Structure 1
């Protein structure tokens, strides 16, 4: 009986390995087909193409394509460190650029709030127009609720940027006293087993959460491609435009798009951080912070933590 149980366990492990490596091999075909047949999933005038895009955006096929790409690029970077450093620098530059642009939403939010206060308290106007030529005119409450969007832009699009800049809080009860190479091993482990799985899991939930508020019939994560293609016959766009209050902000689907973008940026930064940690572990302490593009504080811009009164 024990031999039967052990044989069953061995068979299950063998089947899992065959399935895993089979999907890895199939990912090359899937990626090649997607790149050579873009109209099958990017031609959104075709309802079936829209449903294929929805399905493959959070599908096992995409997971294995991303995994295989990561493994190939990592192996290539381990063979030639210059290639991996190039990918690290490129991705960090991308996150820095996006974050520095998105951070201006904080200033826009403050200025718009000042304008809203003037319009409400001084001019006593019920509506507000922004823009040139054909301005956008909405109720003041609409513009007030829109301030949440600017806050969401700062939070979602600046997460990876803040990580690159080292601005996130670390709980380093174990991390701080250990040796340099041990720190880098902890960083690599955290990237692979915490950061990347978390970003992947949130993506899987947020992807269909987004599309269920953009099209009908509403797609479901439990439905296969064949089922979604059948539903595509009745597909039509039904973008969410319902506010939480009368005359309130009515473009809440933008928040769902930002959640998806946030997951993608976190995933890319997790990969980048793994590569940087590996290179710094491999090359030693002299490579720590190599090619880092940190924001610099000029004279007179220091925080007033130690100001004397």
Structure 2
């Protein structure tokens, strides 16, 4: 059962990561377009600039949880480099329980009203010509926190069931 839950969470975050990859391509094309418009046509667009900023934030928020099961997040290996696999699993478990999950839950809790207010007024850019979808971008904070919580649960299951038959 635990392995199916882990596989499901990994699959969801993996799909969001692939979406982030596609959005990275879109961001590259968008930034290229902005540069061409700026230097070839001597024109600019607040909406395009904000779209690039929003895409960059969206890419990060969609991809962040995918780094956890791959060990691509920031960690200090000075101490654990000399430890055995069991000790490393205990350190990862400790970090997930004491740092990752409380941080993600705190982020979810403090962002809830912030995002709610943005939705209540359908918050938009304060810049003239800016995008009217700032409330949607702010919603991604909640999605990111949720992804981190789910991936934290998957990591706990993975770490506590390592080496056990499934």
Does the Cα contact within 8 Å between 1:241 and 1:250 map onto a contact in 2?
yes
2-structure distance, mates of 1:239, 1:113? 26
Cα distance in 1 for partners of 2:161, 2:59 equals: 30
Largest Rg, 1 or 2: 1
| CA distance in 1: counterparts of 2:16 and 2:86, whole angstroms | 31
TM-score for both structures, normalised by structure 1: 0.50
Which residue in 2 is equivalent to 1:208? 113
| 1:269 alignment partner in structure 2 | 151
Q: Give the 3 Å change call, closer, same or farther, for CA 154–113 of structure 1 in structure 2.
A: same
Contact 2:61 2:141 (8 Å CA) reproduced: yes
Rounded Cα–Cα distance in structure 2 between residues aligned with 1:242 and 1:144: 12
Matched residue, 1:239? 122
In structure 2, the residue corresponding to 1:240 is in which secondary structure? coil
Which stretch has the larger CA shift, 176-185 or 263-272?
176-185
Distance 1:200 1:124 in 2: 46
Q: Which has the higher contact order (CA 8 A, sep 6+)?
A: 2
How much is the aligned-residue C-alpha RMSD, in angstroms? Answer: 2.0
Matched, 1:174 2:79: yes
Which structure carries more helix by proportion? 2
Equivalent runs, 1:26-105 vs 2, <5 Å: 83-105=1-23
Q: How far is 1:169 from its partner? A: 2.5
Partner of 2:40: 122
Distance of 2:99 and 2:43 partners within structure 1: 50
Which structure 2 residue ranges, 5 or more long, are not aligned?
Answer: none
Deviation at residue 272 of structure 1 after TM alignment: 0.4
Deviations 1:117-172 (A, max 9, x none): 2233323456xxxxxxxxxxxxx121112101110111111001122232213202
SS of 1:248's equivalent?
Answer: coil
Partner-residue secondary structure (3-state), 2:118: coil
The reply on whether 1:146 has 2:56 as its aligned counterpart is no
Contact in 2 for aligned 1:96/1:164 (Cα 8 Å): no
| Deviation (angstroms), 1:113 | 1.5
Q: Name which of 130, 135, 140 aligns with 1:253.
A: 135
Alpha-carbon offset, residue 241 of structure 1:
1.8
2:103 counterpart residue number? 198
Decide which moves more: 190-199 or 161-170.
161-170
SS in 2 for 1:239: coil
| C-alpha contact 1:199 1:263 (8 A) present in aligned 2 | yes
4+ runs deviating over 4 angstroms:
none
2-structure distance, mates of 1:172, 1:116:
41
TM-score, reference length from structure 2: 0.90
More divergent stretch after superposition (268-277 vs 253-262) = 253-262
C-alpha distance in structure 1 between counterparts of 2:19 and 2:43, whole Å: 32
